[in-house]
Structure 1
């Protein structure tokens, strides 16, 4: 159905808040991993497995139902996934062993994956034609959401006697209320045939967007691989390498990376997409080099500064990537395209981090992080090189500024 007047703006920001909330919930467990590790007595390898299984569940949902809302509408997909998300919070609330944590992360991953494409597509549906903010919000939300979730959980761990009860009890109620609130929003996507066929696991990139999709792949791989390392083993690095056994400091490290990602996205919103990507990955590579230097020197201050620099580059690069790949996408392809982007992103968010957790048991956490950082730097520089090479060959026409991009109207 059509969306008119103030309801479009209200709906847009309602979806934006919900997206940030969902991503915040996904970031909440990061500062709590060490709490659970101390409580249940498991290794770094098990820790990264608990972290990674969430991503695999999320990927499975993206592949199966990522494009479903293009056919049945955004509201039913989002409402159902929010109820499942509330169930995941209950599993965390009553967790008394590793098995419960694995189950909670699987259910949370399925719910988040089911919502990711639909939420991103709804932002493009509801954005005003004279103020297209969909790409900006889609790129800035991960940094903002993960920062709020990680920092909030870290504060509760530090100052509240039963942090897991508070966090997951409150989130259960919020997600149930959000599911009911979906009924108040207008439907933004028409029903189209092919719902059953869309459930066949696939990565669908519309043909017009395929060249841009290939261009942004190295950028997505480099930035999200570092994000996975920080989210899974960042607090452990603070404790094991720098000797700071403080849950709040570990949470602030994740905030340093993801919070400045938001700043990077906002500060580059007026730049052309390719410029934002190239500048972003170069700044990102400099930040990761600082991370490796901090590990060699044992400087916690440098480690935090490097996280801030890397985060800024992450935000800028991801904004450029999202603006590039979503430009001109048809309404009926939006959820499927965004799901494909996040399939790649979350694969790089999880698999390298799991490998790092396993390697840490063999060669040590510090050495593992140094090697990991060096590989990410090479990947980031290759992304910048390929983007500049493509530009010089004239393979991509000049783009307008990000704030002037005009996706196809819903």
Structure 2
């Protein structure tokens, strides 16, 4: 006789639980990538402007950031499982909003709920993964979001082009996955004992200690460049892919986002044992090189060149954030890690959302291609600034 799902997960031990939590984290980030190939369809069906398109993406980032800042420590007081449960429940609500969306307003509500759910769940999931396996957990928690984001965008692009109900099917599948995970969560073991202080933990804390500030200012351009490129690919990337290829397809846009994310995951995995300074140096070389090739693809209207550029930029995208986080968090004082991590997340998510919104507005005045050239120059400049910072302080981040 088959065991209940909860018994199956629990009796399988730490390895099965580690896999379960990792798959939940992958699913959250995959769901965040599902709307990306759909943006051109939404825009064509509901007739809204490109700035409103980037607002939908930015709203997701803003609510995610708000949730991270307020609920990032909540699982330390309530336990991992209750917080993950809340995140899954809100994520299912957001999927249902996507399913019934018929105008921009409901799309914005769906995106806001999705950001809230992802922000609530990701910190608890990352902690649960590390609690389950202190050796493999940190690298899985770093790689899983990039893999999820890439899979979501790629699979969504394929479904849009080849499957029926292009604006609905991806969300039906994700709803089913999240319901399964909500049920499966009952069979996991709690790693934190609930304690008082949950309400007090919701107060945002974000501060850079004085000894950390020189290193923070030196390496943060690498982080900003990485997240700015990621934000652009997730918002305006599909429009760029269609304009460069001249083909009315969603698969190229999904493949472009997937290449950046997946190669970012490969970069994190391959560079995980390297010195921090080496990671930042490589990131600050690969990111501008990849973006330069992307701009060449735009200028020549070569889809292959565009995809190659994003593939080369990918390891720089993943390595830039990992290297900056390592350099900064290594200097965090006891008791100040959560606050410093909050600052890093604030900078990261604002870097992904605000420049993308500005780019969306710029397309209305200058067109998409000139905006891409300006955005590319901005990312390249930040990467080179980080490179100069690393070269001028040879031993500071070792």
Report the TM-score when normalising by structure 1: 0.87
Distance 1:192 1:273 in 2: 36
Q: How many residues align?
A: 389
1:15 deviates by 1.6
Q: Which residue of 1 aligns with 2:20?
A: 14
1:333 deviates by 7.2
1:139/1:322 contact within 8 Å kept: no
Distance 2:385 2:124 in 1: 31
Q: Which residue of 1 aligns with 2:228?
A: 225
Q: Alpha-carbon deviations, 1:213-272, whole Å to 9, x = none?
A: 555422211101001111111110122244222111121111121121122122222312
Q: Which residue of 2 aligns with 1:44?
A: 50
1:125 deviates by 2.1
2:152 pairs with 1:146: no
Give the alignment partner of residue 199 of structure 1, picking from 202, 213, 216.
202
Q: 1:327 to 1:16 in 2, by over 3 A?
A: farther
1:78/1:118 contact within 8 Å kept: yes
User: Which of 249-258 and 238-247 deviates more?
Assistant: 238-247
User: Which of 65-74 and 214-223 deviates more?
Assistant: 214-223
2:244/2:302 contact within 8 Å kept: no
Unaligned segments of structure 2, at least 5 residues: 1-9
Q: Which residue of 2 aligns with 1:100?
A: 106
Distance 1:209 1:279 in 2: 23
2:37/2:156 contact within 8 Å kept: yes
Give the alignment partner of residue 324 of structure 2, picking from 318, 321, 326.
321
User: Which of 357-366 and 155-164 deviates more?
Assistant: 155-164
Distance 1:356 1:215 in 2: 25
Q: Which residue of 2 aligns with 1:137?
A: 140
2:233/2:257 contact within 8 Å kept: yes
Unaligned segments of structure 1, at least 5 residues: 399-410
Q: 1:29 to 1:176 in 2, by over 3 A?
A: same
1:79/1:180 contact within 8 Å kept: no
2:304 pairs with 1:301: yes
1:148/1:255 contact within 8 Å kept: yes
2:244/2:303 contact within 8 Å kept: no
Q: 1:333 to 1:160 in 2, by over 3 A?
A: farther
Calculate the aligned-residue CA RMSD, in Å.
2.7
Report the TM-score when normalising by structure 2: 0.89
2:259/2:307 contact within 8 Å kept: yes
Distance 1:385 1:5 in 2: 52
